[in-house]
Amino acid sequence: MKPIYWIILVGCFFSCMGNLQAQSCCDRDNVVTLCYLNSKEYCYSNQGGCPGYSLDGVYMVDALKEKLLSAENFGIDGKVKCQLQLINLPFNPSLPTIKNTGCDIVFLPAVVVNPVNNNVEPFSSFLGNDIFDSIMKWSDECPSNLVIASQGEASKWGYTLVNNNNNSLNFPKKSTSLDRIFDGPFGAIDNFKQGGVYQFTFSRMNASAEILALNENDKPTILLDTETNDLMLADIGIFCSGQGVGDISEGTAIVTNNDKLACNIFALACEIASGAQRTNLAYEDCEGPIELPDGSFTSEVGIYTDTLLTELKCDSIVNIEIIPCEEVTIPNIFSPNGDGRNDFFNIITEAEIKVESFRIFNRWGQVVYNNQTPTVGWDGRFKNMDAPVGVYVYHLVFNNSISTRRQERSGDITLLR
């Protein structure tokens, strides 16, 4: 039985890129080291609240940092079985320093003040090229090395920003490789906020960018750089707390949507840092019994998880989801007479489907209707004239919402007036 789709998230893969000085691509020490830079050490003034945009800064220290340090959230007995160790990297860390510190995650601050003219320039980064050179080399050395960058710092990955100056909500993009940051161990969200004076979106993206979230104007606000497997956020305010600054709540409790999003991001970071390889498989229950990783078979709808080991002894987590069979109903009669009832012939389904073709033929084999948006439906006209009463033949080719499996339906439709 072939799966409908598969996704492998950032993990150990089948080989690692060289030997690191202080860590392996498959980190098995059960402690995830979150390294960060203190923005106060890089901000040459308090302009724009610059010193506040890091884990030790005023906008995070009593909010996001408290949640990350909470054993109820991250710990042996926490919601996420991941012991987070937070380490403030020394000023201008070199590549050997980052590696010898044992960093699994590097969380970058937003340094928004230009040291030359003391102006606030949130579109740019003023951390220094040497620092970025070290961090990006570290990121490249192992697939499980994760950098979380936001705002001007994302420019070093080749992204540019624009200020929408619009405190609109942001929304998860459906069916991405990192859906779990929006529906993870700390809860599911359907929107989140940016906050602050600026509300940035990405205006130019690399070809390797996967869009994860958009604002109300469909402008991207969270990306995955698939070339480096690093996470890019357009606005540092997503991680911040304080009136007019961000929507993260103070303390250890998970209260707001931004709380859930931020903690889900770090929960995913824990999984990536552990070197886990995750495979997601999905089947429709109408396909018959499905074989699970343990060798048993089932047709019951649900999610089944098993953990194996790769050759490098990294966890290989297999999720198999069995979903309800998506039914498509096609009527066999319609009457396009303008009375407001059954005036259009179209598909009836509650499922999300992608239509390759939907064609209707008359008795002589002529195509009288051809549309890839069947919800509009055929109005019973052909060449700007009412088509004759009679029997027609339809042919539908489509994929369901999660598959590339081609499905076909065909049959007769009677046109009455």
Q: SS3 sequence, 84-106?
A: EEEEECCCCCCHHHHHHCCCCEE
Tell me the per-residue pLDDT of 37-76, one tens digit each, with 9 for 90 and over. Answer: 998 899 888 887 888 899 999 999 999 999 999 999 999 8
Tens of pLDDT, residue by residue over 163-187, are 876 667 899 998 888 888 999 999 9
d(CA 193, CA 199): 9
Residue 295's DSSP bridge partners are none
Q: Which helix (H) or strand (E) holds 250?
A: none
pTM above 0.85, yes or no: no
> What domains can be seen in the chain, in order of their start residue?
5-273 (3.40.50.880), 277-323 (no CATH), 333-415 (2.60.40)
Contact 293, 306 (CB under 8 A): yes
Residue 89 tokens read as: 């990297």
Would you tell me how many other CB atoms lie within 10 Å of the CB of residue 152? 23
Instruction: Find the angle CA(278)-CA(351)-CA(215) to the nearest 5 degrees.
Output: 65
Predicted local confidence at residue 66, as pLDDT: 97
Q: What tens-digit pLDDT sequence spans the chain (417 residues)?
A: 333 333 333 333 333 333 333 345 555 556 889 999 998 899 888 887 888 899 999 999 999 999 999 999 999 889 998 889 999 999 999 999 999 999 999 999 999 888 888 888 888 888 888 999 999 999 988 878 899 999 889 988 989 888 876 667 899 998 888 888 999 999 999 999 987 777 888 988 877 889 999 988 888 999 999 888 899 999 999 999 988 788 999 999 999 999 999 999 999 888 777 655 555 555 655 556 777 767 778 777 666 665 554 444 454 556 666 666 656 788 889 999 988 888 999 888 766 677 888 899 998 888 999 887 756 789 999 999 999 999 999 988 887 655 555 677 888 999 998
